[in-house]
Amino acid sequence: MSFADATAVFRQEASELLEVLEGTLLDLGLRPHDKDLVDTAFRALHTIKGSGAMFGFDKVAAFTHEFETAFDRVRKGEIVPTQELIAVALAAKDYIRALIETPDETDTIIGDAILGDLTQFVAPRAATAEPTATATVAAPMQANRPAGWKLYLEFEQHVLRNGSNPLDLLEDLCKLGPCFAVPLTDAIPLLDEIEPEDCYLKWDVTLHCDCDRSAIDDVFMFVCDEMKLRMTPLTQTDVAPQVVSLGQDMVVQNALIQDVDVQDEPAVTVVVEAPAIVPEQGPVAPSPVAATPAELATPAAAKVRREEPKRSDERAVATVRVQAERLDELMDRVGELVIAQARLSQLAATSADLSIKMIAEEIERLAGSLRDTTMGARMVPIGSLFGRFRRLVHDLSRDLGKPVEFVTSGEDTELDKTMIECLADPLVHLIRNAIDHGIEDTAARTAAGKTESGRIELQAVHSGAQVLVTVRDNGGGLNTARIRAKAEEQGLIAPGATLSDSDIHQFLFHPGFSTAQTISALSGRGVGMDVVKRTIENMRGSIDLSTRPGQGTTVTLRLPLTLAIIEGLLIRVGEGRYIIPLSAVEECVELTPEDQRSRGRSFLNVRGSLVPFLRLRELLHVNAAADPHQKTIIISTGECRVGLVADQIIGSHQTVIKSLSKLHSDVTIFSGATILGDGTAALILDVAQLVALAQAKAEKQMNEAA
């Protein structure tokens, strides 16, 4: 691992942290008093500062330090994060990103301006210049270096428990020069009162060296507030007699260990007298702040962090980069393995050999978990993408002066990583459109009796082999007449031609088509919707528009789960076998004779609520005789429930989704096909389509009844 690699790791990490920071700041705008959010933001800043300084991003560290200082006042509860403060904080966050990503192109003037803004919100500080962290303790050089030091060491009893070892410290002293350490044993209690983990010894040390005070301070730097340390310089006259009286430099370590072990009394008396000569003029360390047992025993401030901060932490998990093709390849292999395994299971089921059955079961289990792992490696929760839009909405709403409430749901919905990246731009367009064109200005909204602030919902839902991403606004809806006029003006349709509203709306996807009366910086330049449509179609997805005048517009993107393997429910209708994505299945109930009789009305009574149902035999034109006991599978898209009537429920099935050929692209009720263990194919039912179909049918029946 080279330093360059480590720097890359820092960049990656900082980028994740900045994402967390952004999310947290935006959350903070909604819940200014949430202490956990403040802590999360602070922690992100803190880490960026610390790591930044480590990896030589000095500007980042310096700027973040100032940012952190300002934010510290928020943390202490001295100031409340207002929208203005958050806007500045977001700008500061952007600046940090720029400093990290393009340090050479980033002008520090911007940073200074942001800092200026930041300090507006916090009281001016007398001096922001703190001693830099790197500055070592600069001890004043003494003109006359002493010949040595006379030290008195008395440690607190608990010093050993905190991991410091006085013996090590004495060894360190020895490294400075010849040194005599004499233990003072008077504090040692009787044997039965001795706590084995406590330190009772004190030492008198004579150190012969020309080092200055700071060198000795360095030795005791970690324990200086847990000990009494008295230092007095030895003068030349002090040294001479001592050296003479002691005759020679003893090997200190030996002497020390001897002393400690044997408690050699005479040695003590000899040297103990020596310090008395020296007047004690050294500074006495302030009385150490002892940690009381109560403090030590205080349980961790038990604040369980959950919910929001945790979620943002999860959003930015550490990543490993793998080439996408490798994952594709892996997924292909797993798909083949799952099909082969299904064949093995089929074979084992008909075999009488128990050991084959056991192996088949084992392989089924392994293949299942391998599939999940492989899928997991490719899939990314769409939340990471949604997170970015909160900022977009925040900024747009401020720039356009339209207060907008932005609601996201289904962040956990997972999509192929590459697909998520491709989705970013189309969604930006759609959200911009929603705010710029969709949401009316405040005056118009109030006039229409709507809430002052608009609402934009971004939602992701799994729907069988597809993921639906919807952008919904509660604005004015599409102006069909204006779109039509524009289309006529551009010669796309003949004046007076008969077209349905939805056909007219399709012109929005026409290249160069814009109805915006004024071209703003955001939208209305006629590039956008056609690009969006093309991008989505390139992903084999589709885009739908639905609008209600005065109530808003919904854009739905239907995206396939490429290469997906899903857990499916295998059912039989007549001779044919079909797969329903298990994730959409709510429950299976028997179709009661009473329900059977209700030929005309297709409603099922499920514990008191009416659920429309579809007879798959009718839908699929199966002519064979129906089983006497038909089953109903209740499926749901999250919003509405629908029952599907089948002949038999076979069981769950690991389904490798194969897409249907172009020839079958008109068949809407199937989203794909799969290969079963015996080599035959089964079609995968499209839950969203079936639910829509049943709903439409139910609505029609209701209307007829009414």
Q: How far is the CB of 50 from another protein (least distance, A)?
A: 4
Number of Cβ atoms within 10 Å of the Cβ of 366: 12
Q: How far is the CB of 8 from another protein (least distance, A)?
A: 9
CB of 112 to another protein, least distance (A): 22
- Compute CA 56 distance to the chain's CA centroid, rounded to the nearest angstrom: 26
Give the residue with the Cβ less far from another protein, 1 or 191: 1
User: d(Cα 614, Cα 632) in Å, to the nearest integer?
Assistant: 9
- The nearest distance, CB 131 to another protein, in angstroms, is 6
Smallest separation, CB 243 to another protein (Å): 29
Whether the CA torsion 445, 448, 449, 454 is positive or negative: it is: negative
Is residue 464 a contact partner of residue 686, using CB atoms and an 8 Å limit? yes
To the nearest whole angstrom, how small is the minimum distance from the Cβ of residue 346 to another protein? 44
Q: Give 1 or 443: the residue with its C-beta nearer to another protein.
A: 1
- Which phi-psi region, left, alpha or beta, contains residue 136 (left: φ > 0; alpha: ψ -120 to 50)? beta
Give the shortest CB-207-to-another protein separation in angstroms.
17
Distance CA 99, CA 60 (A): 6
3-state class of 135 per DSSP? coil
Minimum gap (Å) between residue 316 Cβ and another protein: 11
The residue among 131 and 628 lying less far from another protein, judged by its C-beta, is: 131
Three-state DSSP at 451 gives: coil
Phi and psi at residue 559, in whole multiples of 5°? -120, 135
CB of 65 to another protein, least distance (A): 8
Residue among 286 and 512 whose Cβ is closer to another protein: 286
CB 344 within 8 Å of CB 338: no
Pairwise CA distance, residues 503 & 494, whole Å: 14
Q: Which is nearer to another protein, 133 or 187 (CB)?
A: 133
CB of 18 to another protein, least distance (A): 13
Which C-beta is closer to another protein: that of 6 or that of 366? 6
Could you tell me if 671 and 655 are in contact, meaning their C-beta atoms sit under 8 angstroms apart?
no
Which helix (H) or strand (E) segment is 609 a member of?
A: strand 609-615
Between CA 607 and CA 393 the distance in angstroms is: 42
Cα separation, 215 vs 174, whole angstroms: 12
Q: Which is nearer to another protein, 167 or 243 (CB)?
A: 167
- Amino acid type, 70: A
Question: CB of residue 374 vs another protein: minimum separation in angstroms?
Answer: 24
Find, among 422, 384, 386, the residue nearest to 562 by Cα: 422
Q: For residues 695 and 642, is the Cβ–Cβ distance under 8 A?
A: yes
For the bound state, the minimum distance from the C-beta of residue 348 to another protein, rounded and expressed in Å, comes to: 40
Structure tokens at 535: 């991008």
Nearer to another protein, 162 or 263 (CB): 162
List C-alpha distances in Å: 525 to 192, 397, 439, 552. 89, 19, 18, 22
Closer by beta carbon to another protein, 101 or else 353: 101
Q: Which is nearer to another protein, 9 or 379 (CB)?
A: 9
Residue 312: CB minimum distance to another protein, A: 10
Say if CB 487 and CB 493 are below 8 A apart.
yes
* Sites of contact with another protein (CB under 8 A): 1, 3, 6, 9-10, 13, 40, 42-43, 46-47, 49-51, 53-55, 61, 130-134, 160-165, 168, 171-172, 197, 221-222, 225-226, 289, 291, 295-296, 298-301, 305, 309-310, 313, 318
8-state DSSP, 142? P
Cβ atoms < 10 Å from Cβ of 410: 19
> Which amino acid, 454?
G
Which CB sits closer to another protein, 2 or 500?
A: 2
Backbone angles phi, psi at 672, to 5 degrees: 175, -170
42 or 603: whose CB is closer to another protein?
42
DSSP string, 228-245: EEEEEEEPHHHHHHHHHH
Residue closer to another protein by CB (options 383, 426) is: 383
- Look up residue 325 and give its two tokens: 């093709």
Nearer to another protein, 47 or 442 (CB): 47
Shortest Cβ distance from residue 221 to another protein (Å)?
7
> In the numeric block, which tokens belong to residue 341?
């395994």
Residue nearer to another protein on the CB measure, 196 or 401? 196
Beta-strand runs (E) in 284-439: 379-381, 404-409, 414-416
Q: What's the CA gap between 142 and 211, in Å, rounded? A: 10
In the complex, least distance from residue 139 CB atom to another protein, rounded to whole angstroms = 17
Q: How far apart are CA 476 and CA 434, in angstroms?
A: 10
| Pick 222 or 587: Cβ nearer another protein | 222
Tell me, rounded to whole angstroms, the distance of Cα 230 from its chain centroid.
52
- Minimum CB–partner distance for residue 58 and another protein (Å): 9
Query: Minimum Å distance from CB 171 to another protein?
Result: 8
Cβ 647 vs Cβ 630: under 8 Å = yes
Bridge partners (DSSP) of residue 635 are 585, 642
Pairing of strands 576-581, 681-685: parallel
Nearer to another protein, 4 or 276 (CB): 4
Cβ pair 450, 405 in contact under 8 A: no
* CA 49 – CA 51 distance, rounded (Å): 6
